[in-house]
Amino acid sequence: MRKNFLKLLGLVYFLFTGLSSKANEVVIDGSFSEWGTIPINYTNTFYGSTPQVGVQNVELLKTKVTDTHIYFYLEGNSGFTLADNEEFYLFFNTDKNAGTGYSSFAYAPSGADVAFIGNRTAGSVYDFVGTQSTDWSWAFKATFESAMNFSTVLDLGNGKRAIEFSVNRNIFGTVQDYVTFSFYPTADWKAMPEAWNSRSFIQINTPPVTLPVTLVYFKALEVGNLVQLNWSTSLEKNNSHFEIYKSIDGVLFNKIGVVSGNTNSNTIQLYNYADKFPNSGTNYYQLKQVDFDGNSKAYDIITVDTKFKNTWFNVYKPLGSDGIELLIYSSENTDSRFYLLDASGKILINKQINLSQGYQTISLPGNIKSRIVIASLTMASKNITKKILVN
């Protein structure tokens, strides 16, 4: 009897918690049913206490934040349309500093670090890359398709209209405590908060996302002609992979590699990645962790200074090929000749190569078997010769 009672109690708990969890979700379907118990975040004041139809027609805002999304509910009067092709700007200040980023002409200072520009059917997300707050300088980050989701604008009756939409939190990377934002359609003054009068963005509290990885360290070290990246974790849950990003200016980053995670682990795990093409000077690296649910976290940027002043080269034999690949870093623009000889002195490759300053990879055909060879690169000012085991 007691056993059956406990089973029943467990079933009741499961049903209750499951239903409660679903009740707290926001589904972007235009029904607005989940917003009834969510408090109003902001109310437009319309230059005073009286709404001015046709000038300002977005009246109130509700927001909800989860580990993965920021949800928005906008309600306005009959003038609030936001047609499919109506362009808007959605600005976010993500670093808690109104003095950095772009200062929107309608909100100064505002410090927008990320901008969503487009309409309800298509658009793009950008990072601010300007040197001054008034620079309209943005770098592409993602499309709306991967970053947000819209309902249509629906008539609620009594002269009221509303829309709901969501923004993926991982588009911002790591944020601290809160973000601020403004929603600014370009076809009318239907802004949230009201343009010109409010002079500041609206704050949305963003509790930190607890990602399932504890990073112990992330380091970069110049090793010969490479940069070795090493990192370690002490805890992993649902960890899919790591992405490695690189920049030459610390602003624009490109993904250069992916390393698989260990899914679940509670012991120290060691990882590494070799950048075979570092730049001479300062190299910036950033590590991003991604779990199987698509959540991600970008860690602090690290730097390493490389001082490649001399020309060097390495020889590689691609898998399944009888030829070789030649990786060369040249300190200048110059003509050169490359020789490859076997142990007896027989010339296997004799090739004229015009070198450009920097890195170059050159594929050379040949019938090179697994053996020890002598490689020589001859230029007007120097000659580099090395013994290499080609596998």
Cα 290 to Cα 125, 236, 275, 360: the distances in Å are 20, 11, 20, 32
For the chain, the average pLDDT equals 82
Answer for the pair 82, 183: CB distance below 8 angstroms, yes or no: no
DSSP lists the bridge partners of residue 221 as: 228
pLDDT at 21: 35
**What domains appear along the chain, each with residue ranges and CATH number?**
2-205 (2.60.40), 213-306 (2.60.40.10), 312-390 (2.60.40.1930)
In angstroms, rounded to a whole number, what is the distance separating the alpha carbons of residues 199 and 51?
Answer: 18
User: CA dist 342 to 85, 105, 387, 390, Å?
Assistant: 68, 69, 10, 11
CB atoms within 10 A of CB 294: 11
Per-residue pLDDT of the chain (391 residues; tens, 9 = 90+): 444 443 443 433 333 333 333 345 688 988 998 898 999 998 887 544 454 444 557 889 999 998 778 999 999 888 888 888 889 999 999 998 888 899 876 676 788 999 999 999 899 999 999 888 888 899 998 899 888 999 989 999 988 999 999 998 878 877 778 999 999 887 765 678 876 655 678 899 988 766 678 889 999 998 877 899 999 998 898 899 999 999 888 888 889 999 999 999 989 999 999 998 787 778 999 999 998 888 888 888 999 988 766 788 888 877 777 788 888 888 788 899 999 888 788 888 899 999 888 888 888 887 777 578 888 999 887 888 888 777 6
